[in-house]
Amino acid sequence: MYPPPPPAPHRDFISVTLSLGESYDNSKSRRRRSCWRKWKQLSRLQRNVILFLLAFLVLCAFLSYTHSSSQWKALGGSPTEGERLRVEVPRPKPANPPVLPAPQKADTNPEDVLTMLPQKPQKPVWRRPPRLQIRAPDIGSKDGTQGEALRNTRQEETPLRTVISWRGAVIEPEQGTEHPSKKAAGVPTPSLPAARTQKEPEFKEARTWVSTKLNFEKDVDVNLFESTIRILGGLLSTYHLSGDSLFLRKAEDFGNRLMPAFATPSKIPYSDVNIGTGVAHPPRWTSDSTVAEVTSIQLEFRELSRLTGNKKFQEAVENVTRHIHSLSGKKDGLVPMFINTHSGLFTHLGVFTLGARADSYYEYLLKQWIQGGKTETQLLEDYLVAIEGIKAHLLRRSEPGKLVFVGELAHGRFSAKMDHLVCFLPGTLALGVHHGLPTEHMELALALMETCYQMNHQMETGLSPEIAHFNTFSRPDLKDVIVKPADRHNLLRPETVESLFYLYRVTGDRKYQDWGWEILQSFNKYTRVRSGGYSSINNVQSTQKPEPRDKMESFFLGETLKYLYLLFSDDPDLLSLDHYVFNTEAHPLPIWSPV
């Protein structure tokens, strides 16, 4: 609708009365004649001045009319075409705009889910698991202890750069904390000030213990990988979440004590090192190290270099990465399980698994690429090639349920055996998709997630065995998942719930929360110890005699319960995947900003 036309110009003239002493005649015709006569009697100048004043008054009247008319329309009238654009384009945002796709039904076609990516979950409507809305502490605490941490949040803003495009996936470097190669201007400090964390009584108690009791000056052998992912990773993560430099000092001390492990002829580290004497050595029976072990310490050592400014940690582990990148003996990106510390060559060639001894090699390719701000393309390429290798050589479907599983290859022979450890893979694939990798990866992630859930669900206790075998024959007497007596224990491992966490974060599909809730119920029912804690069990197929082992691995608290907690939270900013990358023991480390 357009504004009404302006009023027609006023055609009346101003009457200037000049009394000539005539008798009064107030008739209309006389008045008209008299006005016209008087107008004629005026000089040209007088007439022009009067006309100018009239025109000016008409213009003022017109402008004032159009202004009040548009104000009225803004209040209630219909907008003009131009006004519609101005009013409607920046629509007012709802207080909590939904950023996640609508929840999917359990039987949703995975390909439909793919079309929704990369959206994030909506607020919950209904679900059984508890709703957690606890956020990581806010930046900007007034607590004086946070000054150091706050400084770190005010780093120079680097413009984002697109660094790689792979199969149409445009991959942007993440904004994060400082890249190690920018290091020089002092030690970076935590990205997440955490005054609240520091005030928690549990934190205070733990801090006191670390400060007074955690002493690494001990004549004791530790496994390089296990202690890196647990102790070094845990200290670095705590430093970031608390802003307390005690944890960084401890991390640096511990990192220094691990360094002798790299003093080998090949620079491929030994499996063990004595943190008191500094003597490193391989296991007694071999000079080999495990491939997953030497390739899954990089996130932690790189971060230690970034924080301390001492490049030796990063150089040591990146030597290993480069060496393995160019080593022969791989099969389409798949790596053998062992590497010799003297020769630097793979050993036990021809055996390929995504399970024990190789698993986290694949996980850390992706996670280092993410940690480094998506700039280290060699890591990405190795990861992408490996996923293609998995698809080409290790994937099969079971019968009768057609579950997609990842088997093993030994000298060309396929084995339908899948460790529960392999269940990290759906989560890792989903994490990659979240960071821009091909959506085909998500199809595989969804299918494998279903399989891992079934590995739990089909057991009498609802808990997965350590190793599952899959039936690939069409025989009515056989189920999809077969468990051998030696493999039917459960060590409270995290991999299934770890992947459920990633799948939920990336798809927003509540069935993943429900599956996690089901598994938590099973842990409570069959592994919980009345007097406190949880225990590994010997038999996931017996509800009557699961046989607790009286042993709770530290990863149950460090990973399994943490991932369940995160799975049940509907806050995607709680340890956001855009700002943190979890090490293989579930300790969050910051993503660096691009160089």
Active site residues: 226, 359, 466, 495
Phi, psi at 124, each rounded to 5°: -70, 145
Q: Which is nearer to ligand DMJ, 116 or 561 (by Cβ)? A: 561
Question: By C-beta, is 194 or 386 nearer to ligand DMJ?
Answer: 386
Nearer Cβ to ligand DMJ, position 113 or 430? 430
User: Restricting to residues 543-562, which ones interact with ligand DMJ according to CB under 6 A?
Assistant: 555
For 209-239, what is the HEC assignment? HHHHCCCCCCCCEEEHHHHHHHHHHHHHHHH
**Could you tell me the smallest distance in angstroms from the CB atom of residue 323 to ligand DMJ?**
21
Q: Which helix (H) or strand (E) holds 134?
A: none
CB 236 to ligand DMJ: min, Å: 16
User: In this complex, which beta carbon is closest to ligand DMJ, that of residue 116 or of residue 324?
Assistant: 324
Binding residues among 127-166 for ligand DMJ as defined by CB under 6 A = none
CB atoms within 10 A of CB 182: 17
> DSSP readout, 82-108?
HHHHHHHTTPPPPSS---SPPPPPTT-
Q: Report the nearest approach of ligand DMJ to the CB of residue 498 (Å).
A: 8
Cβ of residue 318: shortest distance to ligand DMJ, in angstroms? 20
Nearest to ligand DMJ of 336, 494 (CB atom):
494
Query: Between 24 and 53, how does the x/- string for binding to ligand DMJ read (CB under 6 A)?
Result: ------------------------------
User: By rule CB under 6 A, what count of residues binds ligand DMJ?
Assistant: 7
CA 578 to chain centre: 4
The single residue listed with the structure tokens 């607590």 is: 143
Structure-token match 């949040």, residue found? 153
Least distance (Å) between residue 467 CB and ligand DMJ: 13
Task: Please state the closest distance from residue 359 (CB atom) to ligand DMJ, in A.
Answer: 6
For ligand DMJ, which is the closer residue by CB, 296 or 451? 296
> Can you tell me the distance from the alpha carbon of 452 to that of 424, in angstroms, rounded to the nearest whole number?
9
Residue 338 binds ligand DMJ (CB under 6 A): no
Contact 122, 140 (CB under 8 A): no
SS3 441: helix
Toward ligand DMJ, which CB reaches closer, 173 or 225?
Answer: 225
Extract the tokens encoding 437: 């990798």
Give me the 394-423 binding string for ligand DMJ, x by CB under 6 A, dash otherwise.
---------------------------x--
3-state SS of the chain: helix, strand, coil percent to 5? 45, 10, 45
Contacts of 63 (CB under 8 A, 6+ apart): none
> What do you get for the CA distance between the two ends of the chain, in Å?
54
Question: Tokens in use for 47?
Answer: 């007439």
Beta-strand ranges (E) seen in 89-200 are 164-166, 169-171
Contact call for residues 405 and 398 (beta carbons, < 8 A) = yes
The only residue of 295, 360, 490, 536 in contact with ligand DMJ, by rule CB under 6 A:
360
Reduced to 3 states (helix: H, G, I; strand: E, B; else coil), residue 556 is helix
| Matching residue, tokens 């889910």 | 113
Verify binding: residue 493, ligand DMJ, rule CB under 6 A. yes
Please select the residue that binds ligand DMJ; options are 282, 494, 546, 594, rule is CB under 6 A: 494
Q: Which one among 316, 585, 591, 592 touches ligand DMJ, defined by CB under 6 A?
A: 585
Touching ligand DMJ, residues 419-448 (CB under 6 A): 421
Binder of ligand DMJ out of 264, 507, 584, 593 (CB under 6 A) = 584
Q: Judged by CB, which is closer to ligand DMJ: 13, or 565?
A: 565
H-helix or E-strand containing 589? strand 588-590
Place of tokens 């990369």: 118
Q: Is 300 in the site for ligand DMJ (CB under 6 A)?
A: no
Q: Residue 364 burial by CB count (10 A; 0-12/13-18/19+): exposed, middle or buried?
A: buried
CB of 421 or CB of 566, closer to ligand DMJ: 421
Among positions 193-232, residues that touch ligand DMJ (CB under 6 A) are none
Q: How far is the CB of 555 from ligand DMJ (least distance, A)?
A: 4
Q: Which residues pair with 467 in a beta bridge?
A: 419
Binding marks (x or -) toward ligand DMJ, 496..535, rule CB under 6 A? ----------------------------------------
Q: What is the rounded CA–CA span in Å between residue 432 and residue 426?
A: 10
482 closest CA partner among 468, 496, 464: 468
Q: How far is the CB of 421 from ligand DMJ (least distance, A)?
A: 6
Residues with Cβ within 8 Å of residue 117, at least 6 apart in sequence: 433, 439, 442, 506, 507
CB of residue 184 to ligand DMJ, shortest distance in Å: 33
Please, which residues bridge with residue 273 across strands? Answer: 222, 280
Binding site for ligand DMJ (CB under 6 A): 360, 421, 493-494, 555, 584-585
